[in-house]
A = this chain, B = another copy of it.
Amino acid sequence: MTQLYETEIINIKGTQGHSDIKDGLSFQVSSPLEADRDGLNPEQFMGLAWSTCLNATIMSLLKGRNLSHLDSKVRVIVKMMKEEAMAGYYFEMKAIVSIQSLNLEDTMKMAIQADKFCPVSKLISKNPHVTLEVEKY
């Protein structure tokens, strides 16, 4: 394999502090459990990562099929859940894909294909709380 790119992010003080991209932007961060604090939370970052990556992969597949004139959209819903027994937290993530002019069956085929290639999907999609749906554009 070949390395094409590298980035580094440093967090100080968890959701009480900030997360900084090395040589880049600094973000004040927060937790949904601390509703009185401004800042982006991990749920939002995960949704930003997956929606961007999955839709970029769909666009690349459409281009490969000479369908680059079609627009696509990916909505990602991230839920923070609490397990009753262990008192632990986990995220549920659902991506909802829509592609202009395609019916739901063809959209699902494209979404499943993209989910195999998208690097963020490769990291998360084996998790049982991560799911894929489609809707009309």
Binding site for B on A (CB under 8 A): 1-17, 19, 21, 24-25, 27, 29, 31-33, 40-60, 71-84, 88-91, 93, 117, 119-120, 122-124, 126-127, 129-130
Give the nearest-CB partner of A2 in chain B.
B82
Residues of chain B within 8 A (CB-CB) of A57 are 14
Expressed in whole angstroms, the Cα–Cα distance for A92 and B25 within the complex equals: 21
Q: Is the interface of A mostly helix, strand, loop or mixed?
A: mixed
Would B42 and A45 count as touching, CB distance under 8 A? no
Using CB atoms, name the residue of chain B closest to A14. B56
A7 touches B77 (CB 8 A): yes
- Kindly provide the distance from the CB of A65 to the nearest chain B CB, expressed in whole angstroms: 15
A59 / chain B contacts, CB cutoff of 8 Å:
13-14, 16
Q: How far is the CB of A128 from chain B (nearest CB, A)?
A: 11
Known: A2-B84, A29-B52. A42 touches B119 (CB 8 A): yes
